[in-house]
Amino acid sequence: MILFFVAYLAGVLTIVSPCILPVLPFVFARADQPFSRRILPMLLAKIVTFAGIASLAALGGSWTVQANVYGRYAAIALLAVFGVTLLSTRAAAFVTGPLVKLGNRLSRSAARGDKGSIGGSILLGVATGLLWAPCAGPVLGLVLTGAALNGANAQTTLLLVAYAAGAATSLAIAILASARVFAAMKRFLGIGDHIRQGLGVAVLVGVTAIALGLDTGVLARISYASTARFEQSLLDRMRGGTSSNVDSTRMTLAAQDTRQAAYRSDLPIEGSFPSLDGAVHWLNSKPLSTTELRGKVVLVDFWTYSCINCIRTIPYVRAWAEKYRDQGLVVIGVHAPEFAFEKQIGNVEKAVRDYKITYPVAIDNNFAIWRAFANNYWPAHYFIDAEGQIRHTHFGEGDYEESERVIQDLLADAAGKRKVESGFVQPDAKGAEAAPNFAGLGSGETYIGFMRAQNFASAERVLEDTAQRYTISNPRLNSWGLSGTWTVGAEQARLNEAGGGITYRFRARDLHLVLGPGADGDAVPFQVTVDGKPPGVDHGSDTDASGNGTVKETRLYQLVRQSGDALERTFEIRFLKPGVEAFVFTFG
């Protein structure tokens, strides 16, 4: 409500701008007519015309951003043009020339017509709305900024209506006071010109900062800078009254509690909510947009279903989604594939079921959302407040209590009142989802495909995409090798004959291996040994005490979980049928 009031006052004050002078002679020509039947229709037509034209401009600015990645640059260029028009009245006249010419023609038509007709008054109002366009730089620039960052919406048009109503109010006063007001306005023309130019400099500074990527939140802050002090002053005064107000530039306050100042999070603003467009498919939900998520606290979780770090994070994300759903939290999983098999929607659907994920999941096979966030990690968490601003990020697993505090803080911020801390989730994670033993971890992620393979210890050199027999004896710590006939591709190695295997010397509590049954989909049985013996109590969730297991689908398999200390051991897996594909070792 405060922002609408400020927009209204901004409209009232634009009458001291020099670009209003061409409008006033036509407006004052109506001063001797009845207000309700002649002047009021003109003012209403002016409001509708201005708000309609400016709304189309805002909608266009939003559409160019949503259309594709290059729309960002188009929006920046558009805002730069508006900044220049604020600095120079000549530039403003050039840019808005077509509208001004149309307004002049309509004004002359109205002047030639019957001054007493309602039709003539409406025609003059339309002309006034068009002629007002060069004077609307600050507010229109603010609205275009909001539309570019957050999407055009009903609030955009309502703000423009409030601004136009303010301008119409000042015109009505000018008409009623006629020549005296017109003479007084001339004394303030210089001040209005300086204010206009100052706003132009501010807009151009913001455009430059965003174009250079210095701060994705700069433009939004500059756009509101001209009203922030006045708005805060109004809030401070109103808090001492008998009712609480709603600040539409922030979020809904706790209106029922008038005795306590609204709570505001002190988390920094790290950027605006990027687009969620570009997913090839959505699970558990229809496609979501940033616009419809306004008013909600959002956690965006980038993951992929064979990533062990993502798997160990899922229990916490799942618990947060359940615990805070009714308080306004929306969790969105963005599944961005690391391997080609993770692009298969059926594989992702099964993983979502297996991990009991019920929140929305966007399948980002083309990395459109990944690029929009400029993300580089699995997992990655982006915490977004109810205004659509990124307030915190976390990359990798761990720090779960800190992340949950952020969720609690942003939910309190959205409600406008600090809530009592409700403790932290303690998910009962089992198997591969269980937390790692970092204290005993001495081995790291190891890829098998030739594109990223390291520490290969077989006696034979890897032949890319060519079948070859390999042998391996006693690898040193964190070295591995193949045995049997394999074809090593860029992402994975495929076994060509039964009896082949993989050996790895590791130190960690848990050993995982991403495996798949191959192109034919036939299940492949295997047997695991640790230091040449069945694993016994050290078997993983996908093997038994004898080391037996079966590859039925392409996913991460937990093959070893040491029951005692994380000792240095030699792992070996042998496959009893050909066709299996091996991708990457991970540890925990």
Task: Give the tens place of pLDDT for each residue, 173-191.
Answer: 777 775 455 455 445 545 5
pLDDT greater than 70 at residue 231? no
* pLDDT score for 325: 93
Looking at the structure, tell me whether residues 456 and 313 fall in a common domain.
Answer: no
Evaluate if residue 279 carries a pLDDT over 90: yes
The residue from 192, 220, 235 where one domain ends is 192
Q: How many other β-carbons are positioned within 10 Å of the β-carbon of residue 21?
A: 12
Q: How confident is the model at residue 418 (pLDDT cuts 50, 70, 90)?
A: confident
Q: Are residues 348 and 467 in the same domain?
A: no
Backbone angles phi, psi at 264, to 5 degrees: -130, 130
The pLDDT, as a whole number, for residue 125 is: 66
pLDDT band per the 50, 70, 90 thresholds, residue 262: confident
Phi, psi of 354 (to 5 degrees): -60, -40
* Mean pLDDT of all residues in 463-492: 96
What are the tens digits of pLDDT across the range 80-110?
Answer: 665 565 566 566 556 555 655 554 554 455 4
In-domain check, residue 81: no
Q: What is the pLDDT of residues 282-305, one digit of tens each?
A: 999 999 999 999 999 999 999 999
Task: Give the CATH number, domain containing residue 381.
Answer: 3.40.30.10
The answer on 379 and 490 residing in a single domain is no
Element (H, E) at 224: helix 218-238
- Whether the link from the prior residue into 379 is cis, omega within 30° of 0, is yes
In a domain, 530, yes or no: yes
Q: Are residues 291 and 347 located together in one domain of the fold?
A: yes
Locus of tokens 């840019």: 95
**Does 225 fall in a domain?**
no
Percent of the chain beyond pLDDT 70?
61
Provide the whole-model pTM. Answer: 0.55
Largest CA distance in the chain: 105
**Could you read off the pLDDT of 320-358 as tens digits, one per residue?**
999 999 999 999 999 999 999 999 999 999 999 999 999
Same domain, 404 and 490: no
What are the pLDDT digits (tens) for 454-469?
A: 999 999 999 999 999 9
Answer yes or no: is 101 within a domain: yes
Q: Mean pLDDT across the stretch 142-158?
A: 54
**Residue 541 forms part of a structural domain:** yes
- Inform me whether the pLDDT recorded for 273 exceeds 70: yes
pLDDT at position 163 is 75
CA atoms of 138 and 83, how far apart (whole Å): 9
Residues 33 and 164 in one domain: yes
Q: Which of 192, 209, 229 is at the close of a domain? A: 192
Q: Is the pLDDT of residue 38 over 70?
A: no
On average, the pLDDT of the chain sits at 76
Distance, CA of 255 to chain centre: 28
Same domain, 383 and 477: no
Full domain range(s) for residue 556: 438-587
Any residues with CB less than 8 A from the CB of 501 and at least 6 apart, and which? 482, 483, 484, 572, 573, 574, 575
Using the 3D structure, point to which of 409, 433, 457 is the last residue of a domain: 433
In this prediction, residue 113 has a pLDDT band, given cuts at 50, 70 and 90, of very low
Is 200 a member of any domain?
no
Domain count, the chain: 3
Residue 317 maps to a domain: yes
Buried b (16+ CB within 10 A) or exposed e, 445-484: ebbbbbeebeebbbeeebeeeeebebebeebeebbbbbbb
pLDDT average, residue stretch 32-52? 70
> Which H or E element spans position 90?
helix 89-95
Q: Are residues 457 and 581 in the same domain?
A: yes
Asked if the structure places residue 483 within a domain, the reply is yes
pLDDT (tens digit per residue) in 507-534: 999 999 999 997 888 999 999 999 999 9
Mean local confidence (pLDDT), 536-561: 96
pLDDT over 60 at 145, yes or no: no
CB 462 within 8 A of CB 456: yes
Is the pLDDT confidence value at 149 over 60?
A: no
The residue with tokens 């007002």 is 132
pLDDT over 60 (residue 60): no
| Domain shared by 499 and 359, yes or no | no
* 207-235 residues labelled b (16+ CB within 10 A) or e (exposed): bebbeeeeebbbbbebbbebbeeebeebb
Same domain, 348 and 333: yes
The whole-number average pLDDT for the span 213-242 is: 36
What is the percent of the chain where pLDDT is above 90? 50
Based on the fold, state whether residues 448 and 572 are members of the same structural domain: yes
- Both 8 and 62 in a single domain? yes
pLDDT of residue 492: 95
How confident is the model at residue 213, as a pLDDT? 45
Residue with tokens 């909510």: 273
pLDDT at residue 173, as a whole number: 79
CATH at 492: 2.60.120.260
CA atoms of 225 and 211, how far apart (whole Å): 19
* CA 243 to each of CA 5, 235, 237: distance values in angstroms, whole numbers, following the listed order: 17, 11, 11
Q: Report the range of poorest mean pLDDT among 27-41, 86-100, 498-512.
A: 86-100
